[in-house]
């Protein structure tokens, strides 16, 4: 019976080291991130364009899943607040919301501190900036974003599918599987 107990102890030790190594490897590919910018949308009332603020740039070889956006609307801005990458707008958050009162069909508008949660995360690709733009703002808002950095795609560059609207030099045609 003694040799079996020794083998069981060795097997338990090996499995413990293996699970610990797998846990460390998983942590290496997924890590929490947070970024903050104060006074997004602050501008001179005479200025024509609204400046965008880069909140974060996703590191090369990684991908960001944006899970939370918190907006502190201390300047009582109407908004909306847009979050975009270099190609398109990913989400828009309304800062002025209608509040309904009981027995009053009209209600009234209130300024809110927005906290939006995206359960699956909004994906931002490797090397992409996350740009916040406040439409029509003058006093600005504070923006905090949080998410998870995960391992990015293994293939360098993008893949272009036939019939796509973009034609960039860095894109590569998808391989033909039928030919």
- Structure token digits, residue 72: 């502190």
Per-residue pLDDT at 168 exceeds 70: no
d(Cα 70, Cα 118) in Å, to the nearest integer?
12
Residue 89 falls within a domain, yes or no? yes
Residue 161 falls within a domain, yes or no? no
Residue 20 falls within a domain, yes or no? no
Yes or no: say if 130 and 62 are a contact pair by the CB < 8 Å rule. Answer: no
Residue 40 falls within a domain, yes or no? yes
Q: Which residues of 86-95 are buried (b: 16+ CB within 10 A; e: fewer)?
A: eeeebeebeb
pLDDT tens-digit series, residues 23-79: 545 445 789 999 999 888 888 777 777 778 899 999 888 889 999 998 888 778 877
CATH of the domain at 90: 2.60.120.340
Residue 56 domain boundaries: 30-154
Q: How many domains does the chain have?
A: 1
pLDDT, position 35: 93
Threshold 0.75, pTM exceeds: no
User: pLDDT class for 149, splitting at 50, 70, 90?
Assistant: very high
Residue 162 falls within a domain, yes or no? no
Q: Which residue has the higher pLDDT, 46 or 169?
A: 46
Yes or no: say if 165 and 88 are a contact pair by the CB < 8 Å rule. Answer: no
> What percentage of the chain carries pLDDT values higher than 70?
64
pLDDT tens-digit series, residues 95-137: 776 666 667 666 566 666 778 888 778 888 888 899 998 887 7
Residue 55 falls within a domain, yes or no? yes
Residue 53 falls within a domain, yes or no? yes
Residue 25 falls within a domain, yes or no? no
């Amino acid at each position: 019976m003694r040799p079996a107990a020794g083998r069981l102890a060795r097997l338990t030790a090996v499995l413990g080291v293996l699970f610990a190594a797998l846990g460390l490897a998983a942590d290496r590919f997924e890590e929490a991130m947070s970024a903050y910018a104060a006074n997004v949308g602050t501008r001179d009332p005479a200025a024509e364009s609204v400046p965008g603020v880069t909140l974060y740039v996703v590191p090369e070889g990684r991908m960001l899943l944006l899970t939370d956006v918190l907006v502190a609307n201390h300047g009582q801005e109407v908004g909306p607040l847009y979050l975009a990458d270099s190609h398109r707008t990913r989400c828009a958050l309304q800062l002025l919301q209608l509040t309904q009162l009981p027995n009053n069909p009209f209600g009234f508008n209130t300024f809110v501190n927005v906290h939006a949660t995206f359960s699956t995360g909004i994906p931002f690709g490797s090397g992409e900036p996350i740009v916040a733009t406040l439409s029509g703002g003058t006093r600005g808002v504070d923006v905090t974003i949080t998410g998870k950095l995960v391992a990015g795609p293994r293939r360098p560059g993008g893949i272009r599918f036939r019939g796509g609207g973009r034609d960039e030099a860095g894109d590569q045609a998808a391989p033909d599987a039928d030919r």
